[in-house]
Amino acid sequence: MASDLEELIFIKAASHSAANREPSVTYMLPLMIVTQKITTLAFQLHDGICKKSEQLTSEQKHVAIRVRPSLIEYLSYNLNFLSVLVGPCSNYRDYVDFIEGKHISCRLKQHPGTCNGQNGYDKTPDLSPLNAVCRKLLVCCGCMFLFLVITRSLPITYNADNHFVGHASFFTRLTYAFFSIQAARPKFYFAWTLADAVNNAAGYGFLGMDESGKPSWDLVSNLNIIGIETATSFKTFIDNWNIQTGIWLKTVCYDRAPKHRLPLTFILSALWHGVYPGYYFTFLTAIPITIAARAIRRSIRHYFIGSKVLKLGYDIVTWAATQLAICYTVMPFLLLSVDHTIVYYRSMYFHVHIISILAAVALHRKHKPREASAANNSAPPVSLSSSSSTAACPAQCQPVHSNNNDKVN
């Protein structure tokens, strides 16, 4: 009898512990990265072997692969230790150049004004990644400190706690949700910045020379922290968050889908992340929010750009709206379960869903002609924005993708 009672108590304690433990998804990361690499390589091979040159965009031409890699090359690209755990995914041609020792010289040759047709070593004083690696490791230390001090003191699951939801006011719940989402970011900042630093330390990730003539080691950077924290639009935030995944989604889905590119891209992103219901809540919610954000921006932004004071006020309001919308959208991604997500949405009265759907429907007809004319030229919400200097520089001078995300059309 005593042994049965002890066994029952042990089972209850174990089940209670499992129920309150936050689920871990770290084991999925290598599979997610390999999925990106396999599909990236597959589409680049398809573009190089099965399509004619005139059927490809300029970016697709640049990364197209015309010769099938050997088994060793294929396995090396997919399973190399630099990116097998948390990424980032990069183009096959860039990786092969790195393995063959041509990475830096090939990137420099894309800037004829800098290297004057030579390999660039005699003209450039110092291309060492040491400064970039040290700077990124310092950022990692700061993110780890914030994670240990702040993140653990603001648990995400408290947003769906029945006692908290039942007794706290709406403003209190909204404030806690905002700060708990802010506190959850350092762990992502740490992982992606460390992965970037590891690649740079190995000599991979050289983007080229920046406008001031200094070497930039941001080819495989996965985030822009300043761009994230100061984003004044939903698109700007996404453009600076998980950058390499945004590029992957753009190249394998958004640029290739014949229609409904926005929802298909978000659905693919949800499928790629895994099977937790929270992922689907997040990315399906992002569809109407993105459409509404585009429509609202087109409708009112031009009234505020004529005055510095009005523009400052507009930026402050849009920053707050963007951060709250991101908070509302991302919460299910971190809560993961259906029950916690529904509790959170009910505590927020589904207000972002309602506002975004109403705005998207009300402003859709007003801007329908403009959207139709710009459909082929607009950038996806999950891709990199082009920098303002791109148009002024010849195509051969530009890197394949830019990490300057300070301008959104």
Res 163: pLDDT: 92
Distance CA 261, CA 251 (A): 12
* Torsional class of 231: left (φ above 0), alpha (ψ -120 to 50), beta (otherwise): beta
- Two structure tokens written together for 241: 């968050």
Write out pLDDT tens, residues 343-391: 999 999 999 999 999 998 888 766 554 444 444 444 454 433 333 333 3
Distance CA 220, CA 223 (A): 9
Average pLDDT of the residues of the chain: 82
DSSP 204-234: ----EE-TTS-EE--TT----HHHHHT--SH
At residue 151, what are phi and psi to the nearest 5 degrees? -60, -45
In one-letter notation, the amino acid at residue 74 is: Y
284 to 84, 265, 329: CA distances (angstroms): 28, 10, 9
| Cβ burial 389-399 (10 Å sphere, 16+ → b, else e) | eeeeeeeeebb
DSSP 43-82: HHHHHHHTS-GGGS-HHHHHH---SPPPHHHHHHHHH-TT
Distance CA 55, CA 60 (A): 9
Distance CA 214, CA 124 (A): 9
At residue 186, what are phi and psi to the nearest 5 degrees? -55, -35
Q: What share of the chain is helix, strand, coil (3-state, %, to 5)?
A: 65, 0, 35
- Two structure tokens written together for 183: 């506190």
140 to 115, 148, 203: CA distances (angstroms): 33, 12, 19
Distance CA 267, CA 286 (A): 10
Distance CA 60, CA 134 (A): 34
- Two structure tokens written together for 98: 């790195």
Q: How many CB atoms lie within 10 A of CB 6?
A: 10
H helices present in 211-350, as ranges:
225-229, 234-240, 243-249, 261-273, 277-300, 308-335, 338-347
Chain-centroid distance of CA 402 in Å reads: 14
Distance CA 405, CA 235 (A): 10
Query: What DSSP state is assigned to residue 161?
Result: -
Residue owning tokens 């070497």: 215
Whether 296 and 359 have beta carbons less than 8 Å apart is answered as: yes
What is the pTM for the complete model shown? 0.80
Residue owning tokens 């809540």: 281
Beta-sheet pairing, 208-209 with 215-216: antiparallel
Res 93: pLDDT: 92
Whether 223 and 234 have beta carbons less than 8 Å apart is answered as: no
Cβ-Cβ contacts under 8 Å for 177 (sequence gap 6 or more)? 159, 327, 328, 331, 344, 348
Which segments in the chain show pLDDT lower than 50?
1-21, 113-122, 124, 369-379, 381-409
Nearest Cα residue to 266 out of 254, 251, 278? 254
Res 276: pLDDT: 93
Distance CA 272, CA 274 (A): 6
Res 23: pLDDT: 54
Hey, which residues are catalytic here? Answer: 242, 273
